[in-house]
A and B are shown apart, each in its own frame.
Chain A
Amino acid sequence: MIFRRVRGSAARERISLPVLVLLAALVLIIGYPLLLLAAMALNVGDAQALLPTHWGLANFVRLLGHLEWIRNTLLVALAGSTFGTALALLLAWIIYRTTIPGRRVLELLVTIPYPMGPLVGALAWSELASPHGGLINVLFDALTGSHASLVNIYSVPGIVFVMAIFEAPVAFLMIGAAMGQMDPSLEECSAVMGAGRLMTALRITIPLMLPAILSAWLFLFISMMGAFAIPTILGTNSRFYVATTAIYTLFQGYPPQYPLAAAVGFVLIAFAAIAVWLYTRALRGRSYAVVGGRTYRPRPIDMKGLTPFLFAVVCAYVVVALALPLGILLVASLQRNSNITLSAASWTLHNYRYVLFDFPTTRQAIVNSLLLGIGTGTVGTALATILAWVIYRSRGAGRGVLEQLTMVPQSLPRLIFAAALLWMMLALPLKLYGTLFAVLIAYIIVFLPLAYRSITGVVVQLDRSLEEAGRVHGAGWLSVMRSITVPLLSPGLLAAWVLLFMVSVREVSASIFLAGPGAQVLGPAIFNFWDSGGLPQVSALVIVQTAIILVALIVIRSVHKKGVAI
């Protein structure tokens, strides 16, 4: 068994041209917007100017008066990521390691809430559990005759809850993958030598899973710090602002307060950087759990009497994160007005006709989102493939740096990066702002780490000798690519493509600033629609979006049996 990844020393090798070109391009497209963001945060002169007329720290001083934004952000992100990771760990353990019935189906159902997206989750749960008119509260009142509301989703626990259940699937996939890579004999050995189940769990399993658990937690933490849809929909009512919603409000205000927004964004990025640094420190010398590449199928544990209970836990999650949200949205989309009735007699399909055909804005948003999905999928997959290829298959220095740079957008809250990108586009002489192209660029960059991770998994598995055999037999590089590499990679490439398509279709944070009247996109359109009322129509549009994503999900499952590797 190999614990360590053997890294060739590349210290004295020269940097190759492809590495250099890619490095320069990434530095430019990731670094330049961030530089503009920093400059904007230090701008104490004309608030509308893109480049500071006067420099100073006044924006950060003003931010001291709004420390609750940062505090709230950290609060929901910490609570949400911790709850989400714990939930994911529990689900992964039940599904992958115990003998509950229907594991394959449950594994699929548990992952669906993630591609559905936080916007869908927030809308659905606000319809389910808003203090007044939320279905759960209405039913509770009808049953008990009281007028108190049972649950209030417009609260900090509500926000944390919805964030956790809709982000948990990513952590579930990450932890599940790590569980599959752990040699089951490590646990078996402990058992044979006399350790009980609890002892084995505490001394062997959990320490070995720790790197994966931490890395899932970090992913959720950063993702939740940049979460936009959930805190806006569930928090704005009660004037609960987090950094992203504050930035959005500062952008929307008249006049827009870009410098203060930039300062908030800057602080948020700093916190993300600190989290990444702490994580790296914590894991120093503990990378054993992720290496090896071999996957195992450990014998699931028969929990005997507890099995029905564990099964119920997973089902409860599926109900709360999938069935209830989809159910309420489906019912709401069939209503004639905002008052939800459960009697099918008064239901109508009118809302679907409205969002699909009659209303130009949503019609255009649907078409644009499909185009963006295809564009992001294609360009993103191509770019990630080239990067993976250069990093894993070429020689020379600088490949490690290139890989780290590729993964940088993962640590940047998407809404803030999109804002910075907006300033870059305004600063450039090209008239990109307000076009689909602007959104496309944003999507490609923010989803690059996702695409890269998904592709490297495939590239690493493809044995180099398969290509070398082609070369030896006289095929040129292009010919090897066409006849050997691409056919072998194509299921993996298709899976990455569909993954990018899905996340693009459902994205809000990266497009809320960049989509405009000339470039309507589904996520922001749903959001704006919600902002201006019209619950039945919003629900119909959400169902349309979910349908598109579910079709993509079916495609991805059929080409890639192991599901979406995040």
Chain B
Amino acid sequence: MSLLDDPGVSSPAPGACGDRKPARDRAFIRVTGLEACYHGKPAVRGVSFEAYEGEQLSLLGPSGCGKTTTLRCIAGLETPTAGEIVIDEQVVFSAEQNIDVPSERRSLSMVFQSYAIWPHMTVFENVAYALRLHKERAGALRTRVTEVLRMVGMEALIDQPATNLSGGQQQRVALARSYAFLPKAILLDEPLSNLDARLRVRMREELKRIQRQFRVTNLYVTHDQEEAMALSDRIIVMREGVIAQVGKPLDIYDAPRSRFVADFIGAANILCGRVTEHRPGEALVVDVNGAKLVCAPRAELPRPNAEGEYLVAVRTVYPELRRNFEGAGVNCWPAFVKERLLLGDIVNYMVEWPGGMLRIHGFPNVLFSEGERLLLHISPERAVLVDADD
């Protein structure tokens, strides 16, 4: 079937929403002090977090940050060296109490990066496999399989051998298979990374729709910040085996805690300067090369860099450029367009201002040309102090 067909959005399968009512305040998966090795090297170094019931939680980070190892520990595919994992009030792993419940008794489900579609089975058999394991009655089996396949728009291929499927189709079957038997939670390990760019965007939207329909707790591992932003209620940003920041997508975007998070999620200018005024929770001014930048106030100052300077993150989309110099107030400076890069949907400007250089994202509806003199305005709440990396 064509991937551009709209697979039955209007008809959510009956019963697909599950028997459990999502209770968003209950910690459904609780990971405490997790430590684990990958190929003999420490990959996860003390990770603790909670996933609430029905929540869509992402583990986001660059390769080697320990996100996949964390997920595999929860699945029971890796054995942690320390810590505790609780799923639905059952301790499935505890180094202290010497508990290690095998994978198959954790009532989870998983979508793999390679999809792991069993090539010796048909589409039907792939989906039915887990249902049979969970004692689905033979009579209801076919109905149930058809139902979940319809949700991913694959019911027409139900009797095809799995080897006949394209990458996108395998992906859909893998999703159907993992949702079919209503597991306690679904773990997804970079499920979209093997698809080409266009298909990835499309599958991202479809995954979002499936998540809304099933309301099963999702733990989603990805290195793609767009995916994490689009698909999650909360994001856990990881770096070198520890958690860098946890929060709602927009909170992390607007208030990155560290330079690493500011760089990794979205695009940001990192400015260095000395704090000239700091009244906790009220006012914060940083001197960036002589430009007095009024920043978002905070209770405590973050960690400065090795030179004792403080870092200010300014998202590339937030500074405003305008031709009209009137009404200039706080955080306004004259600026000069040094370079312009037209990328199609967005326009990249390199702007010279008293504080140095600033990269700013604009849109083609208001175009400035190279050499133009403009007014730059940075709203104080958009200038966020962040921890320097160690």
Chain A CB within 8 A of B31 CB? no
If A188-B77, A288-B119, A288-B120 touch, does A193 touch B178 (CB 8 Å cutoff)? yes
Q: Which of B104, B112, B115 contacts A194 (CB 8 A)?
A: B104
Collect the chain A residues with CB atoms within 8 Å of residue B77's CB. 188, 191-192, 299
The binding surface of chain A is classed by DSSP as helix
Closest to A192 in B: B110
If A1-B115, A185-B112, A188-B116 touch, does A194 touch B107 (CB 8 Å cutoff)? yes
Closest to B74 in A: A192
> A183 touching B130 by the CB < 8 A rule?
no
Residue among B78, B102, B109, B116 having the largest count of chain A Cβ atoms under 10 Å: B116
> A192 touching B114 by the CB < 8 A rule?
no
Chain A CB within 8 A of B211 CB? no
Give Cα A191–Cα B102 distance, bound, in whole angstroms: 8
Smallest beta-carbon distance B112→chain A, Å:
4
Give Cα A208–Cα B102 distance, bound, in whole angstroms: 23
Collect the chain A residues with CB atoms within 8 Å of residue B232's CB. none
Chain B CB within 8 A of A157 CB? no
Smallest beta-carbon distance B244→chain A, Å:
27
Chain B CB within 8 A of A360 CB? no
> B118 touching A204 by the CB < 8 A rule?
yes
Collect the chain B residues with CB atoms within 8 Å of residue A1's CB. 114-115, 117, 167, 170, 194
If A4-B163, A288-B163 touch, does A194 touch B134 (CB 8 Å cutoff)? yes
Smallest beta-carbon distance A149→chain B, Å:
48
Give Cα A185–Cα B189 distance, bound, in whole angstroms: 11
> A185 touching B116 by the CB < 8 A rule?
yes
Q: Which of A201-230 contact B (CB under 8 A)?
A: 203-204, 207-208
> A192 touching B109 by the CB < 8 A rule?
yes
If A1-B170, A193-B178, A194-B104 touch, does A188 touch B112 (CB 8 Å cutoff)? yes
Task: Map CB proximity to A onto B98-127 as digits: 1 under 8 Å, 0 otherwise.
Answer: 000011111111101111111110000000
Chain B CB within 8 A of A189 CB? yes
Chain A CB within 8 A of B133 CB? yes
Chain A CB within 8 A of B181 CB? yes
If A195-B104, A288-B119 touch, does A190 touch B110 (CB 8 Å cutoff)? no
Collect the chain B residues with CB atoms within 8 Å of residue A288's CB. 119-120, 163
> B129 touching A193 by the CB < 8 A rule?
yes
Chain B CB within 8 A of A462 CB? no
Give Cα A319–Cα B152 distance, bound, in whole angstroms: 56
If A4-B163, A286-B120, A288-B163 touch, does A203 touch B129 (CB 8 Å cutoff)? yes
If A192-B110, A193-B130 touch, does A208 touch B116 (CB 8 Å cutoff)? no
Chain A CB within 8 A of B187 CB? yes
> A186 touching B133 by the CB < 8 A rule?
no
Give Cα A207–Cα B120 distance, bound, in whole angstroms: 7
Q: Which of B104, B120, B167, B178 contacts A208 (CB 8 A)?
A: B120
Closest to B189 in A: A185
Task: Map CB proximity to B onto A287-328 as digits: 1 under 8 Å, 0 otherwise.
Answer: 011000000000100000000000000000000000000000
Chain A CB within 8 A of B76 CB? yes
Collect the chain B residues with CB atoms within 8 Å of residue A204's CB. 118
Task: Map CB proximity to A onto B184-195 as digits: 1 under 8 Å, 0 otherwise.
Answer: 000100000010
Chain B CB within 8 A of A29 CB? no
Give Cα A207–Cα B121 distance, bound, in whole angstroms: 10
> B115 touching A192 by the CB < 8 A rule?
no
Q: Which of A185, A194, A196, A199 contacts B114 (CB 8 A)?
A: A185
Task: Map CB proximity to A onto B73-103 as digits: 1 under 8 Å, 0 otherwise.
Answer: 0011110000000000000000000000011
Chain B CB within 8 A of A392 CB? no
Closest to B187 in A: A192
Closest to B77 in A: A188
Collect the chain B residues with CB atoms within 8 Å of residue A289's CB. 119
Chain B CB within 8 A of A3 CB? yes
What size tier do the contact residues of chain B reach? Answer: 35 or more
Smallest beta-carbon distance A334→chain B, Å:
45
Task: Map CB proximity to A onto B118-156 as digits: 1 under 8 Å, 0 otherwise.
Answer: 111000000001100110000000000000000000000
> B133 touching A193 by the CB < 8 A rule?
yes
Collect the chain A residues with CB atoms within 8 Å of residue B102's CB. 191, 196
> A193 touching B109 by the CB < 8 A rule?
yes
Q: Which of B295-324 contact A (CB under 8 A)?
A: none
> B103 touching A191 by the CB < 8 A rule?
yes
Q: Which of B108, B118, B119, B163 contacts A192 (CB 8 A)?
A: B108
Collect the chain B residues with CB atoms within 8 Å of residue A203's CB. 129
Smallest beta-carbon distance B227→chain A, Å:
20
Give Cα A189–Cα B183 distance, bound, in whole angstroms: 13
> A192 touching B103 by the CB < 8 A rule?
yes
Closest to A199 in B: B133
Collect the chain B residues with CB atoms within 8 Å of residue A286's CB. 120
Collect the chain B residues with CB atoms within 8 Å of residue A190's CB. 118, 129
Collect the chain A residues with CB atoms within 8 Å of residue B130's CB. 193-194
> A189 touching B116 by the CB < 8 A rule?
yes
Collect the chain A residues with CB atoms within 8 Å of residue B112's CB. 185, 188-189
Q: Which of A414-462 contact B (CB under 8 A)?
A: none
Give Cα A452–Cα B181 distance, bound, in whole angstroms: 48
Task: Map CB proximity to A onto B319-356 as digits: 1 under 8 Å, 0 otherwise.
Answer: 00000000000000000000000000000000000000
If A3-B163, A190-B129, A191-B76 touch, does A196 touch B116 (CB 8 Å cutoff)? no
Smallest beta-carbon distance B40→chain A, Å:
12
Residue among A4, A192, A288 having the largest count of chain B Cβ atoms under 10 Å: A192
Closest to B105 in A: A194
Give Cα A4–Cα B119 distance, bound, in whole angstroms: 10
Residue among A1, A3, A286, A299 having the largest count of chain B Cβ atoms under 10 Å: A1
Collect the chain B residues with CB atoms within 8 Å of residue A188's CB. 75, 77, 103, 110, 112, 116
Collect the chain B residues with CB atoms within 8 Å of residue A189's CB. 110, 112, 116, 118
- Closest 5 pairs between A and B when the two form their complex, measured CB to CB: A193-B130, A189-B116, A288-B119, A185-B116, A3-B163
Q: List 20 contacting pairs A-B, 8 Å CB cutoff, sorted by A.
A: A1-B115, A1-B117, A1-B194, A3-B119, A4-B163, A185-B116, A188-B77, A188-B103, A191-B77, A192-B76, A192-B77, A192-B104, A192-B109, A192-B110, A193-B177, A194-B105, A203-B129, A208-B118, A285-B161, A286-B120
Given contacts A188-B112, A194-B130, A286-B120, 16 further A-B contacts (CB under 8 A): A1-B170, A4-B163, A183-B116, A185-B113, A186-B116, A188-B116, A189-B110, A189-B112, A190-B129, A193-B104, A193-B110, A193-B133, A193-B181, A193-B183, A194-B105, A204-B118
